[in-house]
Structure 1
């Protein structure tokens, strides 16, 4: 995959005034509102650059923060390598892994000719005919379940290097590509480039979206690789939606990249800026009928291309983004929202999040007792028809430990299909999870977490935590 993943941003004054939004420590406070059109658990890529870095650096002082606040989260897989012969298998492999655990994958297409106007992420297909061949292979790999496709970041917001004829040709090419993807998988959710709230005006961006066939897509994305506050982006998105409606295009939704917008806004590059922070953790429960998801499209810690090679993972960047952010709300119940938007058509095999997920409000705990012992606490973090996701927090007792083992018995009809941050062994209904090399040593009172997805109905198991 090309390292030219991330993209230059030109910050200009937004045309529309933005209304005030309530924030707490840079994090959006979601009110009691209906969610967008998507539901389910977002797929966490087990082979991302940050996951590989965590596995290779267990003793780095930054690892725990990067692991727990960045590597633990769903992030988009960038399909940026222009290779017609391999793109179908690349997409199919990623989507298939997500389907196997009944989760929703997020991936990009990033191969438009003259990508990034020859900037830090230059590349893409040599011409539009070959681009359509690449898209056809991409479409064949999408399967038939719900998948989120972020189509060609910067392709519509950044057009300064194109002639008027080339702009029209690009719009037609993206429109054709959207229809190709939707024809191959009607459950694919495809979003086009909406720039961000401090770039083009809503009417200008809306015109560009119309020229690229947004009527065939599910909506648009904003703030990829940028830092504009979520409230600003939501207001900007509403302005674009209103503009599209004025042009007779209805039913479109927004997704917002919140991977780096929890701190300062401003200049496009974060490679050497310590004022950036991760924003809202990825979720499809947005609390806003116009917004289908808060997603981490730009993976935190991957460089922009000003101080480091674009797309390369830099642990210092990831740590700076995550160090002062709150921990993920793994044990928090998912809010219940009324449904004001129609549910999307989807395969019956796709996950369907419960409108009132069974998050455990009184988690199961097990204590080994005495110095050197450990305890384990379980909570269900998400549930859908036929499946659930659980999180276990392992905490050392009054003395440091060098390893831990957690065991429990599965309820009738349950099975585990994916587990992270631990080594899984099952024997019938008996489950054993042992620490990885990087999270076994815990100081007195310190804790770590592992998570898993399972089939069956969620329940609260009785956990046993032991050390040796």
Structure 2
């Protein structure tokens, strides 16, 4: 592989040229109205602007279609694809509309039901034209199934299979990729099983690493294992695309909002030099928040600058920079990439006034079903910042905790103490953060108290 490479202390950023590709050739479309382009245009005097402009805003990234509106689905797709066609470039469209997406977590939303989902997909598909487009279909929809029962999983798989065929029927040149999670989530064999159930035989392949920071080499190895498993099922000819938008540094916990050891990875290209890999893409736009510190999907220049700082400039063959339009269309939030979560609580948490001084308060909201429950716990700082917290939850008799997220736990029944993890210990004065847990038995009656550390 011929490559231009440069390394930083935290990671490596590569640009590929002169290499063989998978099944896609051509340059990727850079959206002149993306959030990062508009921020750079509006903040020319910011000390971070040059780095963000040269290393992030200059690059093609996915446009997320995440706001559910059946009446505008076709026109929104047609407008974006039409602009890419006019530039003779390949657009990347990330569809994020599946019912009960993100299992009701920080990126909850999407279609109210699967019938309306199919209507949206049909309208969207009519706006795709007939030239090459890349469709990233429903991030986390197959890797994250913990909140669905077996009937709901089957219905979701069928919905994704139908959506794939709808898109391919409307535009035979569309390249459609299904969700494979990432290399440190589900096994390759399990991923292949889920892809088969969701109709990967009708798609061009699968995508990975939108929800994490795993290295490109790890994702490529994972992809080869998934392809091998699919081949063993009689499903051949499938290829991978890898999200390299934030994987040039250390891997680890899912949330990037507080991490300074992340860097952008390979610049986007269809020239991968690997016959199993169709493209390296920036699906998750660098600088847009995951939702644990900032609002999910919001562009944060400090995150963008941290990702780009110290990274080599893109190759000279990068797509040309074009000025932003005078009026930009609304953006839609990308996924927050959380670990497996559960449906939103059916009752809101009780209103708890923020404590004074250096303290914190905790409130619990429950979602109960027969034999089990999930709990969402809100931690609120007082009138001063806190740098860590411990929440003590007293559970009813006969209740046992079976899973947690966004916290570390001591114990599984009775009185359980939860402490912050690396990315959510610091909470600003009057601000809040969240964690959750799942359990068996009777959830109602659980109480929580908080101590700052």
TM over 0.5: yes
For residues 113-156 of structure 1, give each alpha carbon's deviation from its aligned partner in whole angstroms, at most 9, with x where no partner exists.
Answer: 00100111000101000000000001000000000000000000
Alpha-carbon distance in structure 1 between the residues aligned to 2:20 and 2:295: 41
Alpha-carbon distance in structure 2 between the residues aligned to 1:274 and 1:422: 29
Q: CA deviation at 1:329?
A: 1.0
Report the secondary structure of 1:200's partner residue: coil
Q: 1:29 to 1:58 in 2, by over 3 A?
A: closer
Alpha-carbon distance in structure 1 between the residues aligned to 2:15 and 2:225: 21
Equivalent in the alignment of 2:202? 216
Alpha-carbon distance in structure 2 between the residues aligned to 1:30 and 1:279: 12
1:48 to 9, 21, 34: 34
Check the 8 A contact 2:41/2:324 in 1, yes or no. Answer: no
Kindly report which structure 2 residues correspond to 1:346-425, keeping only aligned pairs within 5 A, or say none: 381=317, 420=322
Alpha-carbon distance in structure 2 between the residues aligned to 1:174 and 1:252: 17
TM, length-normalised to structure 2 = 0.68
Equivalent in the alignment of 1:247? 233
Equivalent in the alignment of 1:449? none
Q: 1:422 to 1:222 in 2, by over 3 A?
A: closer
Q: CA deviation at 1:109?
A: 0.8
Q: 1:304 to 1:146 in 2, by over 3 A?
A: same
Q: CA deviation at 1:203?
A: 0.3
2:88 to 87, 102, 105: 102
Q: Does 1:197 align with 2:183?
A: yes
Q: CA deviation at 1:422?
A: 9.9
Q: CA deviation at 1:28?
A: 5.4
Equivalent in the alignment of 2:412? none
Q: CA deviation at 1:101?
A: 1.1
Check the 8 A contact 2:140/2:211 in 1, yes or no. Answer: no
For residues 274-324 of structure 1, give each alpha carbon's deviation from its aligned partner in whole angstroms, at most 9, with x where no partner exists.
Answer: 011000000000110000000000000000000011000000000000011
Q: Does 1:181 align with 2:167?
A: yes
Alpha-carbon distance in structure 1 between the residues aligned to 2:226 and 2:204: 13
2:304 to 313, 318, 332: 318
Q: Does 1:303 align with 2:289?
A: yes
Equivalent in the alignment of 1:88? 74
Report the secondary structure of 1:85's partner residue: helix
Report the secondary structure of 2:71's partner residue: coil
Equivalent in the alignment of 2:22? 36
Instruction: Tell me how many residue pairs correspond in the alignment.
Output: 318
Q: CA deviation at 1:32?
A: 8.5
Q: Does 1:261 align with 2:247?
A: yes
5+ long unaligned stretches in structure 1: 1-21, 331-380, 383-388, 392-418, 424-468
Alpha-carbon distance in structure 2 between the residues aligned to 1:420 and 1:29: 21
RMSD (Å) for aligned C-alpha atoms:
1.9
Alpha-carbon distance in structure 2 between the residues aligned to 1:23 and 1:223: 22
5+ long unaligned stretches in structure 2: 326-453
Q: CA deviation at 1:34?
A: 3.3
For residues 46-95 of structure 1, give each alpha carbon's deviation from its aligned partner in whole angstroms, at most 9, with x where no partner exists.
Answer: 11000110011010000000000000000000000110000110100000
Q: CA deviation at 1:27?
A: 3.6
Check the 8 A contact 2:101/2:107 in 1, yes or no. Answer: yes
Runs of 4+ in 1 over 2 A off after TM superposition: 22-34
TM, length-normalised to structure 1 = 0.66
Alpha-carbon distance in structure 2 between the residues aligned to 1:269 and 1:174: 27
Equivalent in the alignment of 1:13? none
